[in-house]
Amino acid sequence: MLLGLFEKQYSRNPRTEKDMRKHLYYLIASMLIITISLNARTNYNYKKLQRENLGRGVVAIRKDASTVTISWRYLSSDPMDTEFNVYRNGEKITSQPVSTGTLYNDAYTSRNAATYEVRPVVKGKETNHKNGRYTLPANAPTGYIRIPMNKPANGVTPAGDTYTYSPNDASIGDIDGDGEYEIILKWDPSNSHDNA
């Protein structure tokens, strides 16, 4: 009934009918363009993408006095159904392989050093595909990892003023190709000025 009223109303005026057709063509063309653009995408061949040759990246951090959190990297070369067994000092501490992520909390109250190892499990069998290992130092701090730094020596300007260095911006990358990230740190002198 509404369609009939709509047609009846616009069929009386030929100019309005022409405008209606014009708007209808624009609407159809717009919908086609949107549909085509939503379906257009680059077809990547992921098997040919160059990948970094990274290691497992295992890290252990003391979460609190009774818990150590172990984290590791899921690699792009890992099969989708990869699970992981976690070991502390050579003994398996996971009753079942970890399958829901790459993080495990170990109930470890000792302040002694502990070496954690993560081994991939594929179809129920441990593999040696990029095992990872990390040693939590004795008396490790809670919530962070100490990173040793080689601070540059203090300097003296030609005018005789002394200056020191402090850590500034940092980036990470596998610089030497060993599969582990290095930290590239910029040292900022105390006499630096912003030229902006």
Q: What is the share, in percent, of the chain residues with pLDDT greater than 70?
A: 91
What's the confidence (pLDDT) of residue 29?
A: 84
Instruction: Give the model's confidence band at 144: pLDDT under 50 very low, under 70 low, under 90 confident, else very high.
Output: very high
Q: For 182-191, which contacts have Cβ atoms below 8 Å and span 24 or more sequence positions?
A: 183/147, 185/149, 187/151, 187/152, 189/155, 189/163, 189/164, 189/165, 190/163, 190/164, 190/165, 190/166, 191/157, 191/161, 191/163
49 lies in some domain:
no
Q: Total domain count for the chain?
A: 3
Domain span at residue 183 reads 155-189
141 lies in some domain:
no
Whether 174 has a pLDDT exceeding 80, the answer reads yes
Say what the pTM is.
Answer: 0.69
What's the confidence (pLDDT) of residue 2?
A: 41
Q: What is the mean pLDDT of residues 57-79?
A: 94
Whether 86 has a pLDDT exceeding 90, the answer reads yes
14 lies in some domain:
yes
Which residues contact residue 180 at a Cβ distance below 8 angstroms, ignoring those fewer than 6 apart?
Answer: 54, 55, 57, 174
What's the confidence (pLDDT) of residue 5?
A: 46
Name which residue leads in pLDDT, 46 or 190.
190
Phi then psi dihedrals of residue 47, to 5 deg: -70, -20
Name which residue leads in pLDDT, 183 or 52.
183
160 lies in some domain:
yes
Q: Are residues 159 and 127 in the same domain?
A: no
